[in-house]
Amino acid sequence: MDFSRLRTTSKVTTEWTYPQGAPLRTGWLRVDTAPDHELYWEEYGRADGEPVMFLHGGPGGACAPVMSRFFDPDRYRVILFDQRGCGKSRPTVAADGPRKALAHNTTDYLVADINALRDELGITGKMHVFGGSWGSTLALVYAIRNPDKVASLILRGIFLGSKEDLLYMYQGNAATFADKPYGLTEPGAYIAYPDEWKAFVEVIPAELRDDMMGAYKAIFDSVPTTEPERQRQLQAALAWSVWEGTISNMIPAASDPGKFGEAAFALSFAQIEAHFFAHDLFLKEGEITDGVGALKDVPVHIVHGRFDQVCPLTQASRLVEALEKAGTPPATYVITDAGHSAMEGQTVLALTAIMDGLPRV
């Protein structure tokens, strides 16, 4: 099948090819000390199958069993794990606080963690690396630095994390919102989600809205000593988390933000994201687009929703352009009629079809 020409029909609901299986094994892996970072991992599918390293989004999201359903359990050995500071890994920002859980929490450490988990699980050959959103960023960085360990890259919702990418999502028209809340003064995701944007913006006082990410991070960096201060920090984390969770779907759930509205998830998710974004993802400028030449022997498969408002399609366009300039055009580039979420129907179909069609390793 020619995946470079794959097209899908309009479908919003999710129809999975493979059933939800139980994990073969679960465990924790200590990857650092002071603090003692331990990664929680789960393994699905076939114990002797082709290994797939699944990289979740965020940074600061977490894995869930449903993420194993993109893969044929009779073919693949799927490893899900929660990155530092979030999910079931230890410590977490929510339970242990940012000073502990954000220590030694950078992109370099996360790349090293992938290799540590490979070693722990006895993966000695090449593996497929599958990542969406921030997971696509981390997958690209990992593969550029370790091309000899990667059989293929499967990327969804490309996130390159430039300043303009972040401003589109978090800044928008916030600086003029008080005077002109529905003014289209700057590009941004707010254009498609004005009511949800209002809830996100109004957490921050009008005089601080020139720098929304900075204002939120100041709240996260504070050390609350009273219950009102703790509630203020939680309110900000929930607003940040729910904003992203809502706009991740082309058609948002009417009233249920799901995990994005849960306090423990939001506290970790929002504060880890703000930490990484304040430090330019701990990457050098152009590190990904300038480095893709290292992927000359790694097939790259890309799926991106046309209506993605978390990571607009232009980010995929920039990556494709960089790959083509390096002489390594993507093996697959699918644009679905979907938003950002990996769980939207067309995106599920496209990702599953790609995994089913990969040459066997």
Token code pair at residue 215: 């204002």
| Cα torsion 102, 106, 110, 116: sign | negative
Indicate the angle between helix axes 263-278 and 212-221, nearest 10 degrees: 120
| Cα torsion 116, 121, 123, 127: sign | negative
Q: Does 108 participate in catalysis according to the annotation?
A: no
Contact 177, 139 (CB under 8 A): no
Length of the chain: 361
What DSSP character marks residue 121?
T
Position 180, amino acid = K
Position 143, amino acid = A
End-to-end CA distance of the chain: 18
What is residue 167's three-state secondary structure? helix
Which residues are 85's β-sheet partners? 92
Q: Annotated catalytic residue: which of 82, 113, 308, 337? A: 308
Query: How many CB atoms are closer than 10 A to CB 98?
Result: 23
Q: Does 37 participate in catalysis according to the annotation?
A: no
Q: Does 308 participate in catalysis according to the annotation?
A: yes
What are phi and psi for residue 143, nearest 5 degrees? Answer: -70, -40
Q: Annotated catalytic residue: which of 152, 248, 340, 341? A: 340
Q: Is residue 271 within a helix (H) or strand (E), and if so which, with residue range?
A: helix 263-278
E runs forming strands in 120-236:
127-132, 150-156
Contact 333, 322 (CB under 8 A): no
Q: Annotated catalytic residue: which of 89, 133, 152, 268? A: 133
State how far the Cα of 283 lies from the Cα of 337, in Å rounded to an integer: 31
Which residues are known to be catalytic?
A: 133, 308, 340
